[in-house]
Structure 1
Amino acid sequence: MNRKAIVENVKRRLWAESMGRCMNPDCRAELFIKNSDIMEKAHIGAYCETEDNSYENLIVLCPNCHKIFDKTGFIDENIVKQWKEIRRNELENFFSVELSSFDQLKEKVVPLLSENYSIYKSYYLSGNKFLWDKFEPQILSNNEKLKLLFENNRTLFQQHSYKEYSNLELIQKFITHVDEFKITRDDGEKLREVLFPQEINSIFGIMPVTDYILPSTESMEELIKVLRKENLIDEVMLGIDRPYILLKNREKIFMDDTPRVRQLYYDKSCFRKTGVRLESLNFALKYLRSRNINFTYVNQDSLREIKVNDINIVFVYEYCLSRTFLSCMSPKPNYVIVNLHNWNGSCCISREALNLADNFEVKLLTMDEFYGYINEIK
């Protein structure tokens, strides 16, 4: 007699709940080994007697435990049902927890995301459909754990009233993807509305994305200060296409890896009001490098003041640099102050500010003037 096929949503639920291990609590053997899986779906009540393919009558076991249960009769059906309950509780208790910090969450999440990415890269991107089909259940299992972790730790993610600026919105998108991926896994034609958001790997520092540089130089300076205090920074590199912070473990935090930088700002309380736009500052420093002009930072925690040939240059970003603004700065004599906001040439600096600059013995420059000044001092 031909057996009835197990309904796909039942398979998916079993795969996800198994956590990739035999559901016998005294065994817990890994079910995904090298290039294959040893997962077996066992009927709790014998199929020949019940023809029951329901979720309640199925359990995921390794071949050894399945053989012992089916062939020897040494294990009572009620015991096997308890195994399922134990695994369900383990899944809930282990992953449905509220953690106290993003670092704690990251410790649990990174191995799961990394394994998923490795499977995706090794089998899906290489076009190995056979092995991709074999290992998709492991992704289902990992996704279930990630979903529980994310749902119970939403407060640890940066959020914004505008969805496009919110990491929490990306987390919600991932949860939707998990549900859709589970439902459509065995469809002949997989029509998915929500693909895996690559920004999730960015948030957890697994794989950077190239996005845009968040505007606040002040926020980046605060992050640098915090990381330096934690003795993590080796170098800060600006004035290049993809500016970055190099950590002592040789890992790079790219400043245009927006989801990750947003999360770091949020986690380390570094969000500050924008005074100087970081992208504009980076552009000015790129010009210096393009002319092979070396510069150093006057203060290791400040990006807005540099020294070139013993000349202190301070960058500001003002719609129109005013006398009041300059007065509040109280610049030291012989400083050069550059207004990065180059909206209308010389009009970006008021006449009153230029007059006051003579009293302070400082030089005020628009960006157009900055280019010429740099070529003179080269």
Structure 2
Amino acid sequence: MGRDKIDENVKRRLYAESMGRCMNPDCQRELFMSNGDIVEKAHIIPYCKTADNSFENLVVLCPNCHKDFDKNYSFSPEEVKSWKKIRREEVDKLFCKKFASFENLRKEVAPLLLENKIIYESYYLGNNRELWDKFEVKVLANNRKLRKLFEQNLYLIQRHPEESYSNLEYIFSFMQHVDEFETTRSDEEKIRQILFPREINSMFGITPVKDSILPSVESLEMLITKLNEENKFKSIVMGINDPYIILKEDGKLIKLLLSDTPRLRQLYFNYNCFSQTKVRLKSLNYAFKYMNFNGISYEFLKYNNLREVSVYGEKVIFIYEYCLSKVELMQLSPEENSIIVNLHNWNGRSCISDQAYKLSEKMNVTLLTMEDFYEYINKFKN
């Protein structure tokens, strides 16, 4: 009578437990090679005595250690069983590290996420079931490492009381995904499983996730200032459908889309840049898009002030007020001959008070609604 097959869920737990290496602490040979795996499953207490295919009675070994255990009797069952405890302690030591900054955590996490992404896209999405079945075990091992890293560093992840605004919720979702991924195997279960939250790859700079642009221009300006202090900020491109920042990371220049919300939200958290929204970024970008569309060039007066630009020698200041008042205009203290554009156009010409218009004449500045702004741009165009 033949042996019962080892349950697939047990195999997956064993693969995850091994972290991709032989469980013999004196060997630790890599089990999952580019040309296929060399993993072998050994019964700690012989199957012929117990018919026990449980997780507790199985261990994954390389072929050499399996032979030394089963045929050469180089290790006792008690010793082999202790390897499970030793591996747990090794994993805790290596991947239960606490980091002082998100940047240090990112450097540990990003390579694991990238490897998982490559395996998933190459074999699972590529409909190569044979290779996926081989390399899925590598994903299981990486997921276990990632879970340990996240558990110890939750304090570095941006959070918000509203779940849809919280990167921490994506981390919790990933942990659930890892647990279910380890304990499910059939195609039906795979369809039902908690999906990998793609926002995780965004947070750690693997793949952007296009979402709504975070509204605060002031927060973005603060971030640019902090990045520049670390010599990471290179430039910003606005006035296009997908505005972006060019920044230096890991010795390379990368493009950070301002619509990559999880990543940008995490950076705001890292650098403590969350600020009350006064000028809305989407509205400001629309004004720049209108200038670009009409061939009107402009330049920022300061690298970290996106609200003030020079248009053919004239200083243009963008604000966002439901109704610009006399007091608010005084607080702006604009230079003479400045052009002030109110991006808030919901209430038409009423977005600028009569008192503000009167004061602007004395201050020798020009106040424009968005309708006026269109005419102002067309003046240059013509």
Question: What TM-score bracket applies, with the shorter chain setting the length?
Answer: over 0.9
Deviations 1:4-53 (A, max 9, x none): 12233322221111101111112111111114211111111222233221
CA separation of 1:188 and 1:163: change in aligned 2, threshold 3 A: closer
Amino acid at match of 2:375: G
- Aligned pair in 2 of structure 1 residues 132, 193: CA closer, same or farther (>3 Å)? closer
Matching residue of 1:22: 22
The aligned counterpart of 2:289 is 286
Any unmatched runs of 5+ in structure 2?
none
User: What's the TM-score, normalizing by structure 2?
Assistant: 0.96
Q: Does the aligned pair in 1 maintain the 2:13–2:183 contact within 8 Å?
A: no
**What is the aligned partner in structure 1 of residue 255 from structure 2?**
252
Shift of 1:94: 2.0
Pairing 1:52-63 to 2, within 5 Å after superposition:
52-63=52-63
Sequence identity of aligned pairs in percent?
55
SS of residue in 2 equivalent to 1:91: helix
| Residues 64-143 of structure 1 mapped to structure 2, 5 A cutoff | 64-143=64-143
Aligned pairs for 1:188-207 (under 5 A) are 188-207=188-207
**Aligned mates of 1:181, 1:4 — CA distance in 2:** 23
Question: Which residue is equivalent to 2:184?
Answer: 184
Pairwise CA distance, 1:187: 4.9
1:1-378 mapped onto 2 (5 Å cutoff): 1-248=1-248, 249-378=252-381
Contact 1:31 1:37 in 2 (8 A): yes
For 1:32 and 1:370, the matched residues in 2 are separated by 63
Unpaired runs of at least 5, structure 1: none
Give the deviation of 1:75 after TM superposition. 2.0
TM-align CA RMSD? 1.3
Letter in 1 for 2:154: R
| Whole-angstrom CA distance in 1 between matches of 2:170 and 2:150 | 11
Amino acid corresponding to residue 327 of structure 2 in structure 1 = T
The Cα of 1:183 is off from its aligned counterpart by: 2.1
Measured against aligned partners, the alpha-carbon deviations of 1:316-362 in whole angstroms (never above 9, x if no partner) come to 00001111100111111000000000112111111110110001100
What letter is aligned with 1:322? S
| Residue 196 (structure 1) shift | 0.8
Moved >6 Å (runs of 4+): none
Q: CA deviation at 1:104?
A: 1.8
**2 CA distance for matches of 1:55 and 1:174?**
24
The separation in 2 between residues aligned to 1:35 and 1:280, in whole angstroms, is 53
- Secondary structure at the residue paired with 1:319? coil
- TM-score normalised to the size of structure 1? 0.97
In terms of mean alpha carbon deviation, does 64-73 or 114-123 score higher?
A: 64-73
Q: Distance in 2 between matches of 1:109 and 1:185?
A: 25
- Report the CA distance shift for 1:84/1:97 in structure 2 as closer, same or farther (over 3 A): same
Are the equivalent residues in 2 in contact too, given 1:16–1:137 (CA < 8 A)? yes
